Amino acid sequence: MATESNLPSTLLDVRNLKTYFYLDEGEVRAVDDVTVRIDRGKVLGVVGESGCGKSVLARSIMRIVRPPGRTIDGEIIYYQPTGEDGGYEEIDLQQLPQDGERMRRIRGADITMVFQEPMVSFSPVHTVGDQIVEGILLHQDVSKEDAREIAADTLRKVGIPNPDQRIDAYPFNLSGGMRQRAMIAMALSSNPTLLIADEPTTALDVTTQAQILELMASLQRELGMAMMLITHNLGVVAQMAEEIIVMYLGKIVERADTATLFRDPKHPYTQELLKSIPQMRRERQTNRLTAISGTVPPPFIRPPGCPFHPRCPQAMPGVCDVVEPQTLRMGENHTVRCLLYDDEAKAVAVGANIDTQDGQD
């Protein structure tokens, strides 16, 4: 435990995190040695197709992974503010009992989560207001009346009209967009230091999607909280995130600040993801949007070498299907996991191939 006077810029430091699932079909490395930092008040975008480990990473941080899944290694260091004096405490969330009092407090108050489908968070048989009030009472030392006032105020903040009446609505009384706003209100009612938003707009129509994203961006700035925004769509994070990590089959394959990632993407997977975003600013869309060929393989059948090689347009036969790429630094705040940039690994693989052929001659 460390208590000092100035809050560090880092809010959450995830180090070498591994969360595996043990299924009859085999071991699934959903999060495989992930190291990432989330800074106080900043937005981190987490991008990748379904099945790449984004949501499991979020759930691992929240400590809500259930069997057959288990976080088997790594640290989740949370620098928890201790009060007005700028002090903080350094806690490894991974060491706390998953359902213990302390972890539950952090989970509901400091770190909260918005899911793709609001009905995951809301009970259908209680009013939206009662559920928000219950969360507030659990984590804040306020009276029931004050909690109801905070709840109504938060509903107002997220743009729900007539919050004093809507507070008594049941989730099914609200439209999809309003339910999503109510869920954001529930997540914000405890003034979290980190909001994890897992595909928060995927289930909504495009107009509502844009409204919700705008709302989240303005609330994030206003409240100064950090946000981890998970999406399969790079276009969604372009406007909001300061930094982006791209995940494929449980690993971070590229990490960079947003401007660098869009200007100079290094990993073929990132390049393919970018090709699938419509370019709104072009006068006329001349190129067709392309989809990435193939699909994410079943997670328990992990391709050897670079796991992206069966789908990669730049794959080097005899290299990419043999050698597993390591993380390489491409710039001050830019890393990539791809053999195109690793001359040493390429030379070793080519040398090994030649030796094998010589042996067969």
Residue nearer to ligand SF4 on the CB measure, 220 or 270: 270
d(CA 247, CA 308): 11
Please report how close the Cβ of residue 315 comes to ligand SF4 at its closest, in angstroms: 4
Residue nearer to ligand SF4 on the CB measure, 147 or 315: 315
Burial 137-160 (b: 16+ CB within 10 A, else e): bebeeeeeeebbbbbbebbbbbbb
What is the binding site for ligand SF4 (CB under 6 A)? 267-268, 306, 308-309, 312, 314-316, 320, 325, 338-340
Please report how close the Cβ of residue 288 comes to ligand SF4 at its closest, in angstroms: 22
Please report how close the Cβ of residue 194 comes to ligand SF4 at its closest, in angstroms: 31
Alpha helices in 63-143 (DSSP H): 101-105, 128-139
Residue nearer to ligand SF4 on the CB measure, 38 or 256: 256
Residue nearer to ligand SF4 on the CB measure, 137 or 274: 274
**Cβ proximity of 198 and 60 under 8 Å:** no
Please report how close the Cβ of residue 338 comes to ligand SF4 at its closest, in angstroms: 3
The label of the residue with tokens 């036969």 reads: 317
Please report how close the Cβ of residue 346 comes to ligand SF4 at its closest, in angstroms: 9
d(CA 229, CA 82): 25
Strands 88-92 vs 69-81: parallel, antiparallel or unpaired: antiparallel
d(CA 45, CA 264): 17
Please report how close the Cβ of residue 34 comes to ligand SF4 at its closest, in angstroms: 18
CA-to-CA separations, 306 to 48, 74, 220, 322, 326, in angstroms, rounded: 16, 23, 36, 7, 9
Residue nearer to ligand SF4 on the CB measure, 67 or 317: 317
Residue nearer to ligand SF4 on the CB measure, 215 or 348: 348
